[in-house]
Amino acid sequence: MVALEEEARRVTLATLAEIAQTSADTIRGGQRLREDLGMDSLQSLELLSTIGEALKIDLDIEEAMGIQTVDDACAFVTRKYKEQKADGSAVRG
Amino acid sequence: MAAPCAVDLQPVGGELVDLLLPNVRRFLATEVDGSAIDEASHIPLSVRKGFAELGLFGMTVPEEFGGAGFSLWDACRVIAEIARVDRSVGIMLGLHAGLGSRGLVEWGSPEFQAVWLPRIAVGECITAFGATEAGAGSDLMAIRTTGRLVDANSLRIDGEKSYVTNGGFANLFTLLVRTPGIGGDRGHTLVAIPADTPGISIGKEEHKLGIRGSSTVTVAFEDVVVPMSNVLGRPGEGMELAYRLLAWGRTLMSAGCAGAAQGALDATVQYVGERKQFGQAIGNFTATRAHVAWMAARTYAMRALIHETADIQAHGNSIEIASAVAKVFCSEGAFEAFDRAIQLHGAVGFLESTGVARGLRDCRITRIFEGANDVLLLRIGAATLGVRRVLDVSCVPALREASTRVVAFDELLHREMGDLRKRLGVMAVRRQLVLQRVARAEICVRAAAAALSQASDTEMDIGLARHVATTLIEEGTQWLAELGRAERDEATATELSSMIYGA
């Protein structure tokens, strides 16, 4: 389980760093996607769709719209990754 | 036939704006010649002086600084009235009252406000806004103009801003700049820069398709040093503040579109009452009446949407999506209103002397600037998928049936959204035709609901609200049907464009 959490967090931060054009080392959990990283709502969804693709998981758009911080994104992705790994569900088409 | 037809909404607004508007109308009728402004590609100084004397440049400046302290809705009413006569002048004032000065009013430091807001209030200072750059249009994250700390108290700005409205004569610029290392690694900051600061150079006026009287220039900033007290809001939070400013500005711009559409209707009603063919005024033909009814009903819905947006803002809530909905609906509606106006004028409408040709040219840019409609549709679509909102409809008994239809369509739309959420999840963000068609359906239902919810029980209001709600729900239903064909259309577009680009 710890390995899953680490992988989900690593992929989330790496993708975030790429989209926000910054280094993963400089990203902190409390940073807000919009105010601190300059990402608008579409870019936040683009981030999550890229993460979902990388981890082969489905992410709900309603929950995704509520994400505000880096920690929110990591927690959301980690929870979905663990749930879907556990029940073996696949990515939507 | 009476002319011109007036379908102005007069919802509750400030008393001061009610007193001001007749003076504005008088000034516009006697001092603003839209055709001459277009031909000269210049707004005469006398117009700016007159606006200053009327207090228009200070209409949204707080009263404590000598302004009128107008709400967003009050300001929208003024802009609509001006744009009804001339769009270049409307754009000049709308940009000033919106993107140009709003940041200073909302987030300026006390010392900066104390110096500049009284000057803005009396019209001594006209403002401009710079966010767009050669490589950064809708993608604001791509801006390269940068602010770096010189010392703890000052910031040095370097870069170039494109398409700066009012830039040729503005006294003060509000700029969105990157400030790496200030307020975060990826920080952006809003900063106000007086135009006479050393290092600023103003480019030549752009030659444009429309709104030719408005000033549009490139402004370069080289080693421009300003004190930190010029920063608007907190350093590093400029992107968030820019989004809020853009929402405010888009609402004012939407009001300009509604005013312009009213201008198209005014000209059309007058013309079709005078022009005779086959022995009678062409306004008597049903085909003509259908165009006129469409124009009047759309204009009514535009104003209702703008009023609703301003009301949301007045209650302290975000208008990011509401303003985008209003902007897309109003900019497209105004353009079509002028297209129909030209059609009803016949060949004479193609001549510049009628003014409707100029109106069409002037309207075209509003589908592009302050957020290209194509991109705004994606944001609206994503928000519609992700967040359920509540719609108000009419309590007027005569509109009950129309309201029931709107509510039923809204339910249908949200069932479709539920299916899409299940099927696509966040991957929906990559399906641009899906998002745009969702947005189109959402705009239809929001505009229909706004028109119904704000209709009074007068015969005119009931007729216009019912007509626009009915046609919008029919359009919305078509967009939902198009949604089912999005996958096919995306595949076709990809296949064909690959061949075309490769040819």
B94-126 tens-digit pLDDT: 999 999 999 999 999 999 999 999 999 999 999
pLDDT tens for residues B443-498? Answer: 999 999 999 999 999 999 999 999 999 999 999 999 999 998 999 999 999 999 99
Contacts of B36 (CB under 8 A, 6+ apart): none
Kindly identify which residue of chain B lies nearest to residue A53, measuring between CA atoms: B427
B184–A49 CB contact, under 8 Å: no
SS (H, E, C) B317-335: CCCHHHHHHHHHHHHHHHH
Query: Per the structure block, which two tokens stand in for B94?
Result: 């709308």
Q: Which residue has the higher pLDDT, B435 or A61?
A: B435
The CATH number of B15-121, from 3.40.710.10, 1.10.1060.10, 3.20.20.370, 1.10.540.10, is 1.10.540.10
Determine, yes or no, domain membership for A68. Answer: yes
Pairwise CB contact (< 8 Å): B430 & A42: no
Is the model's pLDDT at A28 over the cut of 80?
yes
Least confident of A2-6, B355-359, B361-365, B379-383: A2-6
Does A7 map to a domain?
A: yes
For the residues B139-160, what does the mean pLDDT come to?
Answer: 92
Q: What distance in Å separates the CA atoms of residue B78 and residue B72, rounded to the nearest whole number?
A: 10
B248-268 tens-digit pLDDT: 999 999 999 999 999 999 999
Report the predicted TM-score, pTM, of the whole model to 2 decimal places: 0.93
Percent of chain B past pLDDT 70, that is, above it, reads 96
b or e along B62-87 (b: 16 or more beta carbons within 10 Å of the residue's beta carbon)? eeebbbbbbbbbbbbbbbbbbbbbbb
Distances (CA, A) of B407 to B30, B389, B449: 46, 12, 8
According to the 3-state scheme, what is the secondary structure of B69-89?
A: CCCHHHHHHHHHHHHCCCHHH
Phi, psi at residue B124, to the nearest 5°?
Answer: -75, -25
pLDDT of residue B455: 95
The beta-carbon neighbor of B382 closest among A21, A23, A45 is: A45
Half-sphere exposure of B219 (CA within 13 A, CB side): 34
Residue carrying the six token digits 């500049």: B116
What's the whole-number average pLDDT of chain B? Answer: 94
Average pLDDT for residues A31-52, to the nearest whole number? 85
- CA atoms of B160 and B145, how far apart (whole Å): 6
- State whether residue B234 sits within 8 Å of chain A by CB: no
Which among B383, B422, B427 is the nearest to A49, CB-wise?
B427
CA distance B218 to B113: 26
Q: How confident is the model at residue B3 (pLDDT cuts 50, 70, 90)?
A: very low
B431 touches chain A (CB under 8 A): no
Whole-number pLDDT of residue B467: 98
To the nearest whole Å, the CA of A50 is away from the closest chain B CA by 8
In this structure, is residue A70 part of a structural domain?
Answer: yes
**pLDDT given at position B237:** 87
CB contact under 8 Å between A92 and B426, yes or no, is no
Tell me how many residue pairs between chain A and chain B have CB atoms under 8 A apart: 88
Look at residue B182 in the predicted model and tell me its pLDDT.
81
Residue A13's domain comprises 2-87
B103: Cβ contacts below 8 Å, ≥ 6 apart: B174, B190, B192, B232, B233, B241, B245
Among B426, B435, B438, B490, the strongest candidate for a mutation testing the A interface, having the largest count of A CBs within 10 A, is B426
Type and span of the H or E element at B139? none
Indicate the helix (H) or strand (E) that contains B146.
strand B146-151
Measured between beta carbons, the chain A residues lying within 8 angstroms of B239 are 34-35, 38, 40
Number of CB atoms found within 10 A of residue B318's CB: 12
The two structure tokens encoding residue B68:
């009128």
A26 belongs to a structural domain: yes
Q: Considering only CB atoms, which chain A residues are within 8 Å of B385?
A: 61-62
Is residue A27 domain-resident? Answer: yes
Closest CA in chain A for residue B379: A42
Instruction: Name chain B contacts of A23, Cβ cutoff 8 Å.
Output: 185
pLDDT at site B383: 92
How confident is the model over B132-148, as a mean pLDDT? 89
- Give the least confident one: B163-172, B183-192, B409-418, B452-461: B183-192
Is pLDDT above 50 for B430? yes
Asked if residue A93 belongs to a domain, the reply is no
CATH number for the domain running over B240-373: 1.20.140.10
Amino acid at B234: R
Chain B environment of A41 (Cβ under 8 Å): 379, 382-383
φ/ψ of B279, rounded to 5, equals 80, 10
- β-pair partners for B194: B172
pLDDT at B389: 84
Confidence of residue A17 (pLDDT cuts 50, 70, 90): confident
Answer for the pair B306, B251: CB distance below 8 angstroms, yes or no.
yes
| pLDDT tens digits, one per residue of B4-53 | 334 444 444 568 999 999 999 999 999 999 999 999 999 999 999 999 99
Of B186, B386, B427, Cβ closest to residue A36? B186
Question: In the predicted model, what is the mean pLDDT of residues B189-216?
Answer: 97
Q: For B378-418, write each residue's pLDDT tens digit.
A: 999 999 998 878 888 887 999 999 999 999 999 999 999 99
Q: What is the length of chain A? A: 93
- CB spacing of A39 vs B430 below 8 angstroms: no
Among B236, B385, B426, select the one facing A48 at the smallest CB separation: B426
Residue A13 lies in a domain: yes
Distance from CA of B453 to the nearest CA of A (A): 27
Query: How many domains are contained in chain A?
Result: 1
Give pLDDT, residue B184: 66
Question: CA end-to-end span of chain A, whole Å?
Answer: 27
Q: What's the pLDDT at B284?
A: 97
- CATH number reported for the structural domain that contains residue A82 in this entry: 1.10.1200.10
What CATH topology corresponds to B127-236? Butyryl-CoA Dehydrogenase, subunit A; domain 2 (2.40.110)
In whole angstroms, give the CA distance from residue B371 to residue B377.
Answer: 10
- CB–CB of B179/B187 below 8 Å? yes
Read off the amino acid at residue B439.
A
- Cβ pair A61:B425 closer than 8 A: yes
User: CA of A35 to nearest chain B CA: how many angstroms apart?
Assistant: 5
Q: Is the Cβ pair B141, A60 closer than 8 Å?
A: no
Q: Name every chain B residue with its beta carbon within 8 A of the beta carbon of A45.
A: 382, 386, 426, 428-429
- Domain assignment of residue A42, yes or no: yes
